[in-house]
Amino acid sequence: MDRKQELRRLLANVAASSPVKYVDHVDAAGVALFERVCNLDLEGIVAKHKYAPYVSDRERSTWFKIRNSSYSQMVGREELFERERGSEPAPGWHSCELACALLDV
């Protein structure tokens, strides 16, 4: 995970209010994490094959958005992001960290 270590180093001094954040990966318990994300009413997770490189071409990408089909804020979320842009992120935006902590991953 050299790429992740370098990314963590580069983002270490980014302001807390920045929209760019480093998020630790989850190497196991993906199904449990997704279930927890759904229970917390979060939008979903992003997953990829562990050793696959990042590819900017969507057709060849190994990154997958796995959405919570029961997410209560699906309609109108773009308005929320536009309204909050430039201000401190809403507390719920850090819920993935909570989900990961509760799974002890």
Which structural domain range is residue 19 located in?
2-103
Dihedral-angle region of residue 76 (phi above 0 means left; psi in -120 to 50 means alpha; beta otherwise): left
Q: Say if pTM beats, i.e. exceeds, 0.85.
A: no
Torsion angles phi and psi, residue 65, rounded to 5:
-85, 120
Q: pLDDT digits over 44-90, tens only?
A: 888 888 788 777 777 778 888 888 888 887 666 656 556 655 555 44
In the chain, the number of structural domains is 1
35 band by pLDDT with thresholds 50, 70 and 90: very high
Token digits of residue 78:
């773009």
